[in-house]
Amino acid sequence: MPYLRIFDINHNDYIENNNFTYHHLINQFNSSFWMEKKWFFTHQHDQKNLSLSGILYSNAPYRRKDYVYYWESVDKICSNMQKENLDSVKHLYIASKEIDDNCVNYFPNVNELSIKNKFKTSGDSIIAILHRMIPLKQLTKLVIESHLFPMEDIMNLLRFTPNVHTLSLNLYILDNFNINSNKQKEICQYVLKKNKIQNLILNLKCLLSEIQFIMFLFPRLEHLKARMERKEIGQIIQFLLSNAYNKTRNLCYLCILKAPKICLKETKILIESKNLLNDYSIKYIDRDVHLWW
């Protein structure tokens, strides 16, 4: 395979947390066969799970644009780790549930960040950890998959990522988030003034109150995809399309995710009866209602 550029092996086995056995397998890729071909490898593996899981992949240099950060690697425990050149990485996907404060790789050219879990740290804040991993001001896309990730942490993260234009969330916006506290008011005002978010995806069902808060917080929003509480869809559409509400003036596309097909007809009737739009297009595609104007 003379043109092979990327080589990955995913490994999952039960070896009773025996690092010696695990590294004996890994070291076979440090033989002269690979060295002569100038193929060099590194790996990540789970230090705390009895069933050792890991990924072995080619580096020197690492060539992918996407990098999945699975598990924390600690040099003093795992001497087989190699320093990587991660300049090619544009999208960092953090799948780890815990990240050590003192042992993280740096990804200098990342502009997209996805977070799978509400990960733990051993002392420093999540913001401090992320700041040591990536240039936060460089981010243009942020995806939070965990429904356990607090809105307060997301707001703090948005303070340090002013160039994010695409945001995807998987949580109930106002759960355990007191927008009337002085602290949160201050953060909201800062995010309101600085953020550049134009595209927003909300993957859990939203209430009208949450949509109102979102439109207040992201006044530059142009495209909104959201799941909505069935009984509040009409109220939300009427709110978003109302000319009386200045904060929605930039919005030009709405997608109602996972909606019943009857919503297509109901939305048309609502728009016509309330005279909400003069020129628009509406379609039902793959269980989603798409509305452009």
pLDDT given for residue 89 in this prediction: 92
Task: Please indicate whether residue 52 or residue 191 has the higher confidence score (pLDDT).
Answer: 191
Asked whether residue 61 carries a pLDDT value surpassing 60, the answer given is no
Which range, 20-24, 94-98, 131-135, 183-187, has the best average confidence (pLDDT)? 131-135
pLDDT given for residue 102 in this prediction: 67
> Could you give the CA distance from residue 217 to residue 188 in angstroms, rounded to a whole number?
7
Is position 23 within any domain? no
Is position 207 within any domain? yes
pLDDT given for residue 122 in this prediction: 67
Q: Could you read off the pLDDT of 98-121 as tens digits, one per residue?
A: 777 666 688 999 999 999 987 777
Domain membership of residue 194 as a residue range: 65-292
* Model confidence, pTM: 0.81
Residue with tokens 């996907």, as numbered in its chain: 93
Which range, 25-29, 99-103, 239-243, has the best average confidence (pLDDT)? 239-243
Is position 232 within any domain? yes
> Could you give the CA distance from residue 3 to residue 11 in angstroms, rounded to a whole number?
24
Q: Could you read off the pLDDT of 271-287 as tens digits, one per residue?
A: 999 999 999 999 999 99
Task: Please indicate whether residue 49 or residue 210 has the higher confidence score (pLDDT).
Answer: 210
pLDDT given for residue 141 in this prediction: 99
Alpha-carbon separation of residue 181 from 33, 150, 153, 167, 222 (angstroms): 63, 16, 15, 24, 28
Q: Report the CATH number that the domain containing residue 138 is assigned in CATH.
A: 3.80.10
Q: How many structural domains compose the chain?
A: 1
Average pLDDT, the chain: 83
Is position 240 within any domain? yes
Is position 93 within any domain? yes
CB 56, CB 78: distance < 8 Å: no
Amino acid at 86: L
Is position 281 within any domain? yes
Q: Could you read off the pLDDT of 30-58 as tens digits, one per residue?
A: 777 766 766 666 666 555 554 445 555 55
Neighbour count for residue 8 (Cβ, 10 Å) = 11
pLDDT given for residue 20 in this prediction: 55
Alpha-carbon separation of residue 53 from 46, 117, 119 (angstroms): 6, 17, 18
* Two tokens, residue 88: 């090619």
Is position 168 within any domain? yes
Is position 8 within any domain? no
pLDDT given for residue 251 in this prediction: 96
Q: Could you read off the pLDDT of 110-168 as tens digits, one per residue?
A: 999 999 987 777 667 888 889 999 999 999 999 999 988 888 889 999 999 999 999 99
Identify the burial level of 159 via C-beta atoms within 10 angstroms of its C-beta, where 0-12 means exposed, 13-18 middle and 19 or more buried.
Answer: middle
